[in-house]
Amino acid sequence: MLRSHGCATLVQVKSQRPYDHFLRPVALAPEKAVTTAIEFRRAFSLDRCELNVYETRQATNGVHLTFDGFTITSMLRGKKVLHVGDEQHLLDYVPGQTMLVPSNGSMDIDFPDATPWKPTQCTALVIDQAHFTRQLDYLNEQRPMPDGQPWTIDPARPFLQNDEELARLSDRMVRVLSGTDPLKDILADLLLKEIALAIIRLQNRADVFHNGADAPWNLRFKAVVEHIRRNLTEPIAVQRLCELAGMSRSAFYRAFTDQFGMGPNQLVLHERINHAKQLLRLPDVPVKEVCYASGFSDPNYFARLFKKMEGVTPGQFRQGNA
C-alpha cells in the first residue's frame, strides 16, 4: 500500500515531554537533509501502515494535506492552526492533542509561529482503512461490550486530548515503525489494536462530559453517567453506581473499565477537573471557588491534582485561556 521515504531510525527526545499526556518529540531532521521549510516529511512504512513525521520551519498559511487511509495525527512541538468544518473555524493544535482524519480525508493548516529555531513537529500514522477496520473487528470478536453493541470510533469527533495511555502507545509505535526489528509488522499490528481501544475509550470519556444522556452507550451506563454529572459536588458512592447499572460490584468495575479505560472513582476525578476547566475560563470566579464548585474540599489537593492531570496549575490554565 505505502512506500517508505526514509530509513533512518528516529530518536525520541525524552527530556522535552513535560507531562504524561504529551508524546515525546523526536530529534529534528539534520539541517542538511531538509529539502523544504514547510512540512518536510520523513516516512517509515510497512505494507499496511506508514508513520510520517512532519516538520515546518517557516511561518505560512493555507497548507493542504491529504491522507490515503485512516490517519491518527499527534502534535509533538509548536503550534498549528487547523481550519475545521464547512464554515472553516480555526482551532489551535498543540502538543498533548491528537486528531483523527478519515480515509481520503484532508486538512488545511496555518503555521503562525514556526521558525528555523522553533519548528513545529507532528506525526501522522496512516493506516490502510480495511486493515484498521479489521483491528476493530478483532476487538469486537474478543471482548464485545456488555450490551452487545460494537466498539466503534467516530471520525466525526476527530479531536482528542491525549491521556497517558495513548501517549505511551503512540511513543511505542514511533519506535517500532522507525526501528529495525525484523518482526516490526507483528509488533505494529498488536499496537494498532491497543491504539484503537485507547481512542475508543477517550471518545467515550469525552462523551461523559459533553453529551451525557445523549451519548451512544447502553442504558446501564447512561444512568450511571447522569448520576455522576448531576452529583459532581457531592460524595459519589460506588455502590449506588452499581445499583444504577444493575450489576454486582465486580461486574460493574470490569464493564466500566472496559468502556472507559479507568475505574469509576478515576472518572469522577476526571469529570471534576473537566468541570473546573470550564469554570476557570470565567475570569470572575476565584480559583478557590472553582475548587469547591467542582467537588473538592481542599484547594491544595485540587491544585496538585489539576497540575498532575493537565500539566499546569489552575492559575496557569486560566492565563492560557484568557
Kindly tell me if the per-residue pLDDT of 266 is higher than 80. yes
CB 121 within 8 A of CB 76: yes
**pLDDT tens-digit series, residues 154-175:** 887 888 888 888 999 999 999 9
> Cell numbers of 298, please?
481542599
Task: Tell the burial category of 249 from Cβ atoms under 10 Å away from its Cβ (0-12, 13-18, 19+).
Answer: exposed
Task: Give rounded-to-5 percent helix, strand, coil for the chain.
Answer: 45, 20, 35
**pLDDT tens-digit series, residues 7-32:** 457 888 764 445 667 889 999 999 99
The residues, ordered by sequence, that sit 6+ positions from 15 with a Cβ below 8 Å of its Cβ are none
- Cα(295)–Cα(291) distance, integer angstroms: 7
- Cα(187)–Cα(14) distance, integer angstroms: 22
Kindly tell me if the per-residue pLDDT of 239 is higher than 90. yes
Nearest to 272, CA basis, from 312, 301, 252: 301
- Cα(295)–Cα(233) distance, integer angstroms: 4
CB 52 within 8 A of CB 10: no
Higher pLDDT, 146 or 110: 110
Q: Which CATH superfamily is domain 211-320 in?
A: Homeodomain-like (1.10.10.60)
- Cα(246)–Cα(257) distance, integer angstroms: 16
Amino acid type, 283: P
Domain extent listing, the chain: 14-207, 211-320
CB 74 within 8 A of CB 63: no
CB 294 within 8 A of CB 272: yes
Q: How confident is the model at residue 212 (pLDDT cuts 50, 70, 90)?
A: low
- Note the CATH number of domain 14-207: 2.60.120.280
3-state class (DSSP) for residue 278: helix
3-state class (DSSP) for residue 121: strand
Q: What's the confidence (pLDDT) of residue 1? A: 42
Q: What's the confidence (pLDDT) of residue 99? A: 92
Query: What mean pLDDT, rounded, does the chain reach?
Result: 86
CB 292 within 8 A of CB 276: no
Distances (CA, A) of 109 to 84, 91, 225: 9, 10, 36
- Cα(208)–Cα(89) distance, integer angstroms: 24
3-state class (DSSP) for residue 88: coil
